[in-house]
Amino acid sequence: MTKTLAIALALALPFAAQAKPAPSSAAAPAAWIEKMTHALWPSDAVHARATLESKDANGEGLDTELELVRDQRGDDVRTQLRVVAPEGAAGTVYEIDAHGGKKLERSVYLAPVRRVRDLRGLRRTDSFLGSEFSYEDLEIAAPRESEWRRAQLIHEGGRALEKVTSAPYSYYERVETVLDPKTDLPVRVSFYDRDGVLYKRETFGDPQTIDGHVLPTRIEMDDVQTGAKSVLRLHDIELGRPIDEALFTNSPLAQHAAR
């Protein structure tokens, strides 16, 4: 190699390093959220039972027992959560309908007052039965309406993780979702209020392998400002069992729509 060529290469290397393409995660934050959703819902048909526990400064509330079904057919996804206990809330039904790229439809039948509410706009972030979970939080996956602006690689506890940040929406200045790229499963979600202050934090744990898929079975939502906490525990998870259409056609929400 001539001296002139060596000098030329030495000068070129720093520029070549700067010209390297950015990591794919930085270019496609929404793709990470999509991968996470597939990891959380690995089957077109999902049945599960869930227990929702809540605690705040006034003590513990009554545990809420739920039945969950999720039915995906192509781009159409229907999810239903039905309250089976305690007696005062039993019969409450929350449904989410996603039709391709159209806007999500969320509605809830509140059994104690026999009232149906469409959950649009800010309503989707209302508390579910007084818990720290909002209605959209109970969908477990990130809201489809959110705009994901940035993804960046971070390191925590010896692990390389992806942090995906949303645009402002509702009363959140931003929502940060941290996931493990080895499994595509979420580790935690941090919600910041319009002043940029951490408002609540959601963490995912107790992973279990079900039909070859690793799924978190404990989801905790903490209000970091008040100390209140709600925990959603999933159990009796079944993947692939066909969904009984009557669960949706005979639900109080369908009956209300028919009237």
* DSSP codes, the chain: --HHHHHHHHHHHHHHHHTSPPPHHHH-HHHHHHHHHHHH--SSEEEEEEEEEEEETTEE---EEEEEEEEEETTEEEEEEEEEESTTTTT-EEEEEEETTSPPEEEEEEGGGTEEEE--GGGGGSBSTTSS-BTGGGG-SPPTTPPEEEEEEEEETTEEEEEEEEPPBTTEEEEEEEEETTTTEEEEEEEEETTS-EEEEEEEEEEEEETTEEEEEEEEEEETTT--EEEEEEEEEEESPPPPTHHHHTSHHHHHHH-
Per-residue model confidence as pLDDT tens digits over 52-87: 999 998 899 889 999 999 999 888 999 999 999 999
The span from the CA of 125 to the CA of 116, in Å, is 16
CA 56 to chain centre: 23
Q: What torsion, rounded to 10 degrees, do the Cα atoms 77, 81, 82, 84 define?
A: 150
> Over 80: is that where the pLDDT of 16 sits?
no
Per-residue model confidence as pLDDT tens digits over 106-144: 999 999 999 999 998 889 999 999 999 999 999 998 887
Nearest to 222 by CA among 204, 205, 202: 202
Q: Are 106 and 118 in contact (CB under 8 A)?
A: yes
Per-residue model confidence as pLDDT tens digits over 187-198: 999 999 999 999
Q: Are 65 and 49 in contact (CB under 8 A)?
A: yes
At 97, list the tokens. Answer: 């309908």
The span from the CA of 126 to the CA of 246, in Å, is 28
The span from the CA of 203 to the CA of 190, in Å, is 9
Model confidence at 96, in pLDDT bands (50, 70, 90)? very high
Residues with Cβ within 8 Å of residue 90, at least 6 apart in sequence: 83, 84, 111
Predicted pLDDT at 100? 73
- What percent of the chain lies above the pLDDT cut of 70? 89
Q: Are 210 and 239 in contact (CB under 8 A)?
A: yes
At 67, list the tokens. Answer: 């039945």
Report, as an integer, the average pLDDT of 18-45. Answer: 76
Share the mean pLDDT of the chain: 89
Model confidence at 257, in pLDDT bands (50, 70, 90)? confident
Q: Which domains occur in the chain, in start order?
A: 22-250 (2.50.20.10)
Provide the residue type at 228 as one letter: A
| Least confident interval from 2-6, 30-34, 154-158 | 2-6
Predicted pLDDT at 52? 98
